[in-house]
Structure 1
Amino acid sequence: MKLKIVFLAAAFLLFEACSKVPLTGRSQLSLVDEGQMLSLAQASYAEFLKENKVVPASDKQTVFVKKVGDNLINAVKVFMNQKGYSQQIKDYKWEVNLVESKELNAWCMPGGKIVVYTGILPVTKDETGLATVMGHEIAHAIARHGAERMSQQMAAQMGAVVGNVATSSSSQNQQIFNELYGVGAPLALLKYGRNQESEADRLGLTFMAIAGYDPRKAVDFWQRMSASAKTQQKPPEFLSTHPSDETRISGIQKYLPEALGYYNQK
């Protein structure tokens, strides 16, 4: 009897803890309070900046990155206001930093905490290329993919969801947050990661289009990104949180008409 009650409580919790992703309308599991996610992100972001070499604000590369970031942030605000989601980002404290690193990478944490690595700038080449990357990463935050991944991990351990979600300590959640952003989710959750990547591509195209960047150029960037990774050993698509280059480019081409609708309004 107790087991049945626990199961029903868990099912009710999972059913009630669903939200919608802006633009795509996809239902997602959300067991983590948004305010808590913003707090976790702020702490992790501050720690990251302490431990890495941040390029000075006066550097021309930083000026370039912040310019593109500001354009995209304004576009996101316009989009969220138009779609009736302005409350979702009202507590965002946007911040853009350029970090010295050879990695071809960039990311955006919940709350608008953005980092671009210097190593990716030769591949982005220009504002539109960088807007492709940053738009995609900002989309992860807007779609609350971080909270969704944490929720999936909690749901994978149903007993923990029922008994501990409400009482888990900040330190425990901080550890989960750091693991998800650093090491990644277990293999069982990787499919969700690929879906999130495709969703971020779609949203990112819209954001860059509203910001005045031609979304058709996103294909050029991902082709350059693919070429730059030719010498790197990559896992099969089914073992990766990211879609294959071919799958990603095909998906982007599918979403282009939608993004161009926003771009042509400029």
Structure 2
Amino acid sequence: MRNDPFGGSGEGQAPRRRGGGIGNLRWLILLGFLVYGGCYYFSNRTEDPYTGETVLIDGSIGPEQERAMGLQAYQEILSQEQPLPRTDQTAQQITAIAQRLIEKVPEVTAALAAEHGMAAPEHWREFEWDVNVIPSEQANAFCLPGGKMAVYTGLIPVAQSQDAMAVVMGHEIAHALLRHGAQRMSQQKLAQIGQMAGAASGMDPQQQQMVMAAMGYGYLLPYARTHETQADEVGLMLAAAACYDPNEAIGLWERMSESSGGQAPPEFSSTHPNPGTRIQTLQSLMPKALEYRQSFCRQ
């Protein structure tokens, strides 16, 4: 009888499988990540008073943290892109539009929350609103968490009117009110958990890339497009309540499409709805916007 140098008799034993323990460990680690991801998702869901929808916001990301990050980003942008003087006529016109929209935030917030049977959120009351106009060919604008806003002068010839400009600025303000920044950070954390799970399961880099691409098209990009649609609705109500003509939103997005030269990517691979989809959505919202104008516009 031949002795097994590792203590077995060597007789009548099946060959030992190598790597079985490692494979089982990988599955346990993968399962652990999946459980963690599920717990993270379900424990950080909350209802949004503006839309009535269930959204993902990490409980550790408070409005104060959002405002601090927004202020830091704003200061960095203004240090790199010199805004127009506040005495400039264009800057004063943009500031006046912003002020009219901001004045309607309390009423529109309360009305939208009431539509969903919810209490009006209060986080926006701590916003320190500010708006600057930045000389640039970009047809763009933004509003960061905390109410820090900027409008690029390239947007002015595309908007063509104060009504259309109010629609764009209302849309950007809505992103801040809806806490879309916190939602995106939470979504990214969930995606990172999924990525770590893929790595722990033994997927090679190409397989991980394929899974992340599928997650992007199936979850991340639709999530971003939902944010845009939500901001379109809330922003349109703000503009209408502030006595601007919401119908100008249709022509605005037609001109935005023309200004891009029809080079926008297909909707399924974009963070934004395509102009056609956007216009259809805005048209469907127009009766509601006109009701908000009638209810809240006091000129």
TM-score (norm 2): 0.75
Distance in 1 between residues matched to 2:142 and 2:33, nearest whole Å: 38
Distance 2:49 2:131 in 1: 23
- Structure 2 residues without counterparts, runs of 5 or longer: 1-27, 114-118, 197-215
Q: Which amino acid aligns with 1:14?
A: Y
Residue 6 (structure 1) shift: 5.9
Cα RMSD for the two superposed structures = 2.3
The aligned residue for residue 238 of structure 2 is 207
Match of 1:105, as an amino acid? N
Deviation at 1:88, TM superposition (A): 1.9
Offset of 1:33 from its aligned partner?
2.5
1:258 aligns with 2:288: yes
Residue pairs, 1:62-211, within 5 angstroms: 62-82=91-111, 83=113, 84-158=119-193, 189-211=220-242
Q: Distance in 2 between matches of 1:54 and 1:90?
A: 26
- Which of these residues, 46, 56, 72, is aligned with residue 19 of structure 1? 46
Change (3 A) 1:122 1:36: same
Query: Equivalent pairs: percent with the same residue?
Result: 38
> Which of 250, 253, 261 is the matching residue for 1:222?
253
Shift of 1:257: 1.5
1:158 CA drift (Å): 2.2
Letter in 1 for 2:246: P
Paired residues of 1:30 and 1:148 also in contact (CA < 8 A): yes
Aligned length: 243
- TM-score by length of structure 1 reads 0.84
Structure number with greater Rg is 2
Tell me how far 1:190 sits from its aligned partner.
Answer: 1.6
Q: Quick one: which of 208, 231, 235 aligns to 2:265? A: 235
Measured against aligned partners, the alpha-carbon deviations of 1:125-172 in whole angstroms (never above 9, x if no partner) come to: 1210110100111111111111111111101122799xxxxxxxxxxx
Amino acid at match of 1:155: L
Deviation at 1:264, TM superposition (A): 1.5
The verdict on how the C-alpha distance between 1:211 and 1:238 changes in structure 2, with shifts beyond 3 A counting, is same
Check the 8 A contact 1:205/1:259 in 2, yes or no. Answer: yes
Greater CA drift, 250-259 or 72-81: 72-81
SS in 2 for 1:152: helix
Q: Secondary structure at the match of 1:157?
A: helix
**Quick check: 221-230 or 198-207, which moved more?**
221-230
| Deviation per residue, 1:46-104 (Å, 9 max, x gap) | 11101102000000000000000001111112222454424121221111110011001
* Moved segments of 4+, more than 3 Å: 1-10, 81-84
- The range that moved more, 244-253 or 69-78, is 69-78
